[in-house]
Amino acid sequence: MTSATSPRVLRLRRDDRCAGCGIDLPAGIRAQWDQTRRVTTCLLCVERAAGAQHSASTDERDTGAAAQTMPADGPTEPSGTVRATVGSVPGPVGVAPTAGAPPTADAATPEVDPEMIAEPAPVSIDVIATLADEDGVAGASARREYERRRDKREEKVRTHHPKLGGLILALSDEPQSTTAWAKGAVGERKLGEALDALRSEGMVVLHDRRIPKSISNIDHLVIAPSGVHVIDAKRYKGKVEIRGSGSILRPGPNLLFVGGRNQTELVEAMASQVEVVGAAIADIAWTAEAEGLIRPRLCFVDAEWGWFAKPETLHGVRIGSPKSLLREIREPGPMTPDHIHLIATHLRAVLKPA
Nearest 5 degrees, angle CA 282-CA 353-CA 223?
50
CA dist 347 and 257 (Å) reads 32
**What's the confidence (pLDDT) of residue 116?**
31
Per-residue CA distances from 170 to 8, 63, 152, 156, 165 (Å): 49, 67, 15, 14, 9
Beta bridge partners of 24: 17
pLDDT digits (tens, 9 = 90+) for 210-245: 998 888 899 999 999 999 999 999 988 899 999 988
Which stretch, 7-16, 66-75, 270-279, has highest mean pLDDT?
270-279
Closest of 275, 279, 316, 277 to residue 298, by C-alpha: 316
User: Residue 168: in which H helix or E strand, if any?
Assistant: helix 165-171
**What's the confidence (pLDDT) of residue 51?**
59
pTM, full prediction: 0.65
CA dist 279 and 293 (Å) reads 13
**What's the confidence (pLDDT) of residue 215?**
85
Tell me where in the chain the CATH 3.40.1350 domain(s) lie: 186-350
**Residue that wins the pLDDT comparison between 118 and 29:** 29
Per-residue CA distances from 235 to 117, 252, 315 (Å): 38, 28, 21
pLDDT digits (tens, 9 = 90+) for 70-129: 454 544 444 333 333 323 333 333 333 344 444 444 444 334 333 332 333 344 444 544
**What's the confidence (pLDDT) of residue 83?**
32
Architecture of domain 186-350: 3-Layer(aba) Sandwich (3.40)
**What's the confidence (pLDDT) of residue 107?**
40
**Residue that wins the pLDDT comparison between 144 and 332:** 332
> For the stretch 135-154, what's the b/e string if a residue is b when 16 or more beta carbons lie within 10 angstroms of its beta carbon?
bbbbbbbbbebbeebbeeee
